[in-house]
Amino acid sequence: MLQPSGDHDEGEVLSFLAALSNPILPITFLLFLMAFGSLGYVISRQAILNRAEIAQQGGGEKVESTTKKPEMTEASNTADFASTPSQESVSESIDVNSAISLIEDLYYFLSEKDFDSARQLYAPQLSATFSDEFFSQFARVTVENLRIVSQTPVSINFVGYNTYVYPDGSTQREERSYTVRKVDGNLKITASEFIRVIKFR
């Protein structure tokens, strides 16, 4: 029977040790590891870039925003409504000449001391503040130079000059505003405010 030769085994061991001592083998193995590591890095980086591109294009999962959209405010609704007058308001449009005549009639009645008739030309709230005593101190009260400062289908705002004539003949001249609108179908002075004194007494 053939037996393994001791010399043969020893020769294989020496060959293996000689191979290990060869400097080329470790360098080759190192290059292999470096190449493999670089390939893994490239693959990982490409995967990250692909996910970023998908997210940028909206391909990812959609997330609902929790920010509530602003709602129309009540103020904007009121402005929109006011800019479109109803048919009823348009049908009650005020004639400018009639509004001017109303204010001139007021000062005619005041000069004549017909305070009841003068009071009837005011709207109820303004009539409640009317003072007979105030106008009784003047010999005459006039209004001039009425001009429109603003107008809507249902009201007209004027500015004019008042001249208060005292019994001794002295006068004081003032600028005043007036608002005329229809109340229950009739023209009324609904507001009147002092602006400034033009000429002191």
Would 112 be classed as within a structural domain? yes
Q: Establish if 189 belongs to a structural domain.
A: yes
Report how many domains make up the chain.
Answer: 1
Q: Given this model, what pLDDT does residue 163 score?
A: 97
Handedness of CA 80, 81, 83, 84 (dihedral sign): positive
Distance of CA 15 to the CA centre of its chain: 92
CATH code of the domain covering residue 133:
3.10.450.50
* HSE-up (13 A, CA, CB side) for residue 61: 1
* Closest by CA position to 123, among listed 179, 194, 176, 195: 179
Residue 105 falls inside a structural domain: yes
DSSP lists the bridge partners of residue 176 as: 160, 194
Query: Residue 93 — very low, low, confident or very high, per pLDDT cuts 50/70/90?
Result: confident
Confidence check: pLDDT of 43 > 80: no
Full-model pTM: 0.56
Q: Is residue 117 part of a domain?
A: yes
Within a domain: residue 71? Answer: no
Mean pLDDT of 124-141: 94
Enumerate residues 6+ apart whose C-beta is below 8 A from 94. Answer: 153, 154, 155, 156, 180, 181, 182, 187
Are 182 and 153 contacting, i.e. CB atoms less than 8 angstroms apart?
Answer: no
**Strand ranges, E, within 11-99:** none
Query: How confident is the model over 120-130, as pLDDT tens digits?
Result: 999 999 999 99
Parent domain of 155 = 88-199
Is residue 115 one of the residues assigned to a domain? yes
Residue 72 lies in a domain: no
Q: What's residue 183's pLDDT?
A: 93
